[in-house]
Amino acid sequence: MTRTTARITAVDTYDIRFPTSRELDGSDAMNPDPDYSAAYLILRTDAPDGIEGHGFTFTIGRGNDVQVAAIDALKPHLIGRSVDELCADPGTLGRALVGDSQLRWLGPEKGVMHMAIGAAVNAAWDLAAKRAGQPLWKLLADAEPEWLVRQIDFRYIADVLSPADALHLLRGGKNGAAGREAKLRERGYPGYTTSPGWLGYSDEKLTRLAHEAVADGFTQIKLKVGADLADDVRRMRAARAAVGPDIRIAIDANQRWNVGEAIEWTRALGAFDPYWIEEPTSPDDVLGHAAIRRAVGPDIKVATGEHVQNRIIFKQLLQAGAIDVLQIDAARVGGVNENLAILLLAAKFGVPVCPHAGGVGLCELVQHLSMFDYVALTGTTENRVIEYVDHLHEHFTDPVVMRAGHYTAPVAPGFSATMHAESIAEFTYPGGRFWAADLAAQITEGVGA
């Protein structure tokens, strides 16, 4: 009997949106009305095991129109690929997608196309981990350093991180990995919460949620700032009174300021002992971040990364001494492969990684990357925390589990990216059950008016 090679047979895409703006969940100085959304894809195969690869990138609403179209443009590179070859070497997919010259012209390696590539690459890693029967963090931690190095594109970063450098770091990370894995499984990975700090929340809600965060075991919270200085001073005073002197409070301006304004505003909030100022200015302004860091440090750290578009900008932020805290995002850059490069860059420079999360499924994804970093690369969680936001986890088949302010290590195979079919059916825009009913209600109200 001739064995037929299993292949990717379809790439199904979905525009999934949640109406979070109605409660001001996720609101900040630059994004006052976000509807947390996922441009979502499923890699379907004809393999007998029926395993699928799930991936997505995060937007905050109407951007999904463009993002889903970008993922659809990648389908010719995906359909027909050998499942075995893809899972054995996901890096080949990343290189093929980045290397499409006509699509690359739209970047290169940034913006909507690069986020679409990240979604597809992450779906491939989800498929690979599921077929291996391991959660992604474990698959990465157990992988041979030589294989991991082959997954990384060193173009444009080899002047700072060569393949030999990466191999040295990864081989060193194997020392003591088994003991760290045991600790991870027992204790989890430390998190911090942004749930109290959305800009649209009242002071009473902020205070209540800050008290709850401390009771839940978190040692750091985060507040959104940047719209009005007097409001920020009042909210920081309320937050510090709620959590006391020993809990860290990070602040996040979401790119609101010019450089001089960032320095002045951050200093004005310094009386409340903020731990870091996040995204104080444009994520592309490497030298601006460096200037802010010189002006407000060392007492207040500078953090950025959730909108940094690729490994090259991260390289420059590190080279320029522009950040104290590097914030990877699992769905912003070109997928797991590129985030491995960024983790290695941070490790070489000795800068702690504290990932951006929240959104739709970002907590579920990025925990795997930090756990790999702890077990098999840097070997430490000192001054390292993963952002946590208590939104929308119930829509995933393998949701984040928090215990005493720590992320519990996932045990289910895959990248924790799979959404419940019922959630997809309900919140697909505009024809899902929720949005169809919502539109019908708006029409009825309009007729009644």
Query: Catalytic residues, which ones?
Result: 224, 356
Q: Helix, strand, coil % (nearest 5) of the chain? A: 45, 15, 35
Residue 249 has phi, psi (to 5 degrees) of -120, 115
CA-nearest of 280, 292, 356 to 320 is 292
Q: Which residues of 377-403 are buried (b: 16+ CB within 10 A; e: fewer)?
A: bbbebeebbbbbbbbbbebbebbbebe
Separation CA 219–CA 265 (nearest Å): 24
Specify whether the CB–CB gap between 421 and 14 falls below 8 A.
no
Burial class from Cβ neighbours inside 10 Å (0-12, 13-18, 19+) for residue 286 reads buried
As a whole number of angstroms, the distance between CA 310 and CA 283 comes to: 11
Distance set, CA 190 to CA 36, 185, 278, 337, 407 (Å)? 24, 12, 19, 24, 6
